[in-house]
Amino acid sequence: MRRQVLNSYLYFFKTDNMNNLSAIGKIRKKNTAVIIILTAVVILLALLCLFVGSSRMSLTECFAALAKKGSAAKIRIIWNIRIPRLLAAVIAGAGLSLSGLIMQTSLNNSMASPSTLGVSNAAVFGANLSIIAFAGGFLSTGNNLTSYTVGANPYATSLMAFLFSTFSILLILGLCRLRSFQPGAVVLAGIAIGSVWTAATTVLQFYATDVGLSAAVIWTFGDLGRATYRTDLIMAVVVIIGTVFFTLMSWKYNALLSGDAAALSMGVNVDLLRFISMLLASVITAVCVSFLGIIGFVGIICPHVTKRLLGQDHRVTIPVSALSGSLLLLLADTLSRCLGNGSALPVGAVTSLLGAPFFLWIIFSREESHI
């Protein structure tokens, strides 16, 4: 009798394990299929971006230019304008989306993103300071466009934007160390510091000349057209380093989802993980923003869609968020060139138009009503 009971327990135990293994196998196959499909879609959309533009080049001319055949002007359009542009969309989209995902996980706040933590505001101030006062020299050149062309230095502008973004996040993280990195304190500090940068930018623009003001405002438009192979390489290095680090720490982020106490019991240094993660995510954002301008909502839309469809496992959400960010920015760039009627609209405006309704949906969604 005891043997029969033991055999029955063993049977149910084996059956339960087999069912669990089968379910895990199905989930892994689904996640792998999603990653493969997203990768294929990103590649196809990137190829489509090569054929969209104001030059009205035919498919035959585009393929010929890709092979470096045909007129020199068309070869330059493909190799010096469109390819750097689509590379920037893929790299920056992945970086901004990953930054949003890591910030949301680290702070346990669905509203956390590069734009809500003041990183973008600081970049705008740094760029405005460079354009109005230093790189463009508008305080001394006035409205002389010739002097602006001689004195302007786009890399100085990007460097100033990056430095102020990095300083801003270090200031926020330093202030939050006083509160032992409470997630709510980080978000509130980001909003407060971001407001200070916005006010400083307004004061700076008030004293700018007409040329300086217009150049500073134009810089804030998220524009992939200013990308070059050099800027793409810099962004790629930073994004790849961040992606590798986030992937290696994926199990720690999964532990963090269970709460600080549970993560500590698993051996995770929660404060150190938050500090490094927030710093690296902010550096990725600062690099992308400093070269391309403000591109909003990518860090909110893509992580939320990924988590809604595939759950919270960071072993999956990290690559899928990166791919979905690239896909969104490629789609926005394609739309901006199609709707521009001869000139591309700022891609930051397109992402904001797509992201604002989504942001409102998150706020009023029943599932997110606790935010």
Where residue 70 sits, what CATH number does that domain have?
1.10.3470.10
Q: Judge whether 207 lies within some domain.
A: yes
pLDDT digits (tens, 9 = 90+) for 221-241: 888 988 999 999 999 999 999
Q: Judge whether 319 lies within some domain.
A: yes
Low-confidence ranges of the chain (pLDDT < 50): 2, 4-6, 8-16, 136-151, 368-371
Q: Judge whether 38 lies within some domain.
A: no
Q: Judge whether 32 lies within some domain.
A: no
Q: Judge whether 145 lies within some domain.
A: yes
Q: Judge whether 354 lies within some domain.
A: no
Domain range for residue 109?
57-340
As given in the structure block, the two tokens for residue 352 are: 């904001």
Residue by residue, DSSP assigns 129-144 as HIIIIISS-HHHHTT-
What pLDDT sits at residue 341? 64
Global pTM?
Answer: 0.86
Residue with tokens 């304008």: 81
As given in the structure block, the two tokens for residue 345 are: 């609209």
As given in the structure block, the two tokens for residue 297 are: 């909502």
3-class SS at 221? Answer: strand
Q: Judge whether 369 lies within some domain.
A: no
Overall number of domains in the chain: 1
What pLDDT sits at residue 30? 85
What pLDDT sits at residue 140? 42
pLDDT digits (tens, 9 = 90+) for 314-351: 999 999 999 999 999 999 998 888 876 656 788 888 88
Exposed/middle/buried for 125, CB within 10 Å: 0-12, 13-18, 19+?
buried
Sign for the CA dihedral angle at 355, 358, 363, 369 comes to negative
What pLDDT sits at residue 340? 63
Q: Judge whether 217 lies within some domain.
A: yes
